Amino acid sequence: MRGAGVRVSTGAALFGALIVWVALLGPLISLLAHLTPASVWNALSQPGALQPLVTSVTASLVALAVILLLGTPLAYLMARGRLPFPRIWEAGVILPLLTPPLVIGLLLIFMVGPATPIGAALSHLNLTASDTFFALIVAEIYESVPFYVLGAMAAFATVDPALEQAAALLGDGRWRTWRRVTIPMAAPGLANALAVTWARAMGAFGAVLIIAYHPFGLPMQIWVTLQETGLASALPYALVLLVVALPLPVAAYIWSARARRRL
């Protein structure tokens, strides 16, 4: 009787999992069902149709580089508990994640907009954080940075500090230990964090809508096309966004799963 009960509950759990999986993939399946190769070709062969793609990829790459450069040390220090008042640092990282992207956009106007002290300082560098490529990068960073920092923190937390100590005892300084032990061991988790961040940066919309309506990136192009010419015209751009944004996370997931098995 007990065996039969276990079989029923396992079956129910599998059925539930299947429903969730299909529900999550449903939008993607719907997208593919409503597109034909001809409609995609027609939309993307228009003059300047791929410019939003170039804008989004370039801005996301710059945003990713900035996040990687500044977010990695921060994530490491937080993971090792080396920052004073750790909860305050954590709150700072989580805040952009909890704040609706539209609100982030509004707040960014008050922080880096042209009428603010930071905006004035930026103008000396010929930068304006409003309706510019620079503003697009700023918006993408704010929308995606928590995903990287939190993921990288988790990745660094998996590295046993005793191994870093062992490296130090074998003659490594801090930087060398980081390069030879910490980063290689955290690499699978860092790759995952970076891939998710890439997808978020590529898809950033709420804050972008407020401070970087121009130049059009892919999400903005989808929105404007939807508003002006309807759903059917916007779908090819949605497909392009998925095709560009998703392979990196999928590749990172496969690579990190293999790398973890080796550790």
Partner 1 sequence: MLVADFEVARREFSVRVNVQVRPGERVALLGRSGAGKTTTVEALAGLQRLSRGEIRLGGRLLSSAWYPTADVPPGRRRVGLLRQDTGLFPHLTVLQNIGYAREADPAAARATAERLGLGALVGARPRGLSGGEAQRVSLARALQAKVGLLCLDEPFTSLDRPLSVELLELLRRELDGSGTSAILVTHQLEEAQAFAQRLAVLHRGEILQVADARDLVLRPASREVAELVGYRGWLSSGPQTMGLHPDRVYPVAAADDWEISARVVGLVPQGARIELELEAEGRWRGRFRCRSDRSVPIGELMWFACPGAPIFRTAEQHRGALSDP
Compute the CA torsion angle 221, 224, 227, 229 (nearest 10 deg): -60
How far, in Å, CA of 119 to CA of 128, rounded? 7
The total number of residues written for the chain in this structure: 263
Report how far Cα 235 is from the mean position of its chain's Cα atoms. Answer: 22
Q: Would you say 23 and 223 are in contact if contact means Cβ atoms under 8 Å apart?
A: no
* Beta carbon of residue 258, minimum distance to partner 1 (angstroms, whole number): 13
Of 184, 186, 200, the C-alpha closest to 64 is 200
Cβ distance to partner 1 smaller for residue 125 or 169 = 169
How far, in Å, CA of 190 to CA of 155, rounded? 6
* Beta carbon of residue 168, minimum distance to partner 1 (angstroms, whole number): 5
* Beta carbon of residue 257, minimum distance to partner 1 (angstroms, whole number): 15
* Beta carbon of residue 84, minimum distance to partner 1 (angstroms, whole number): 19
Q: Provide the CB-side half-sphere exposure for 138 (13 A, CA).
A: 26
Applying CB under 8 A, which residues contact partner 1?
Answer: 162-163, 165-173, 176, 180-181, 184-185, 262-263
* Beta carbon of residue 179, minimum distance to partner 1 (angstroms, whole number): 12
Give, as one character, the DSSP assignment of residue 213: -
Cβ distance to partner 1 smaller for residue 112 or 167 = 167
* Beta carbon of residue 256, minimum distance to partner 1 (angstroms, whole number): 13
Cβ distance to partner 1 smaller for residue 213 or 255 = 255
Cβ distance to partner 1 smaller for residue 49 or 183 = 183
Cβ distance to partner 1 smaller for residue 87 or 262 = 262
Cβ distance to partner 1 smaller for residue 231 or 257 = 257
Of 150, 152, 145, 151, the C-alpha closest to 207 is 145
Give the CA distances from residue 13 to residues 6, 7, 9, 16, in Å, rounded to whole numbers and listed in that order: 10, 10, 6, 5
Cβ distance to partner 1 smaller for residue 57 or 183 = 183
Q: Provide the CB-side half-sphere exposure for 47 (13 A, CA).
A: 0
* Beta carbon of residue 251, minimum distance to partner 1 (angstroms, whole number): 20
Give the count of beta carbons closer than 10 Å to the beta carbon of residue 211: 25
The distance in angstroms from the start CA to the end CA of the chain is 42
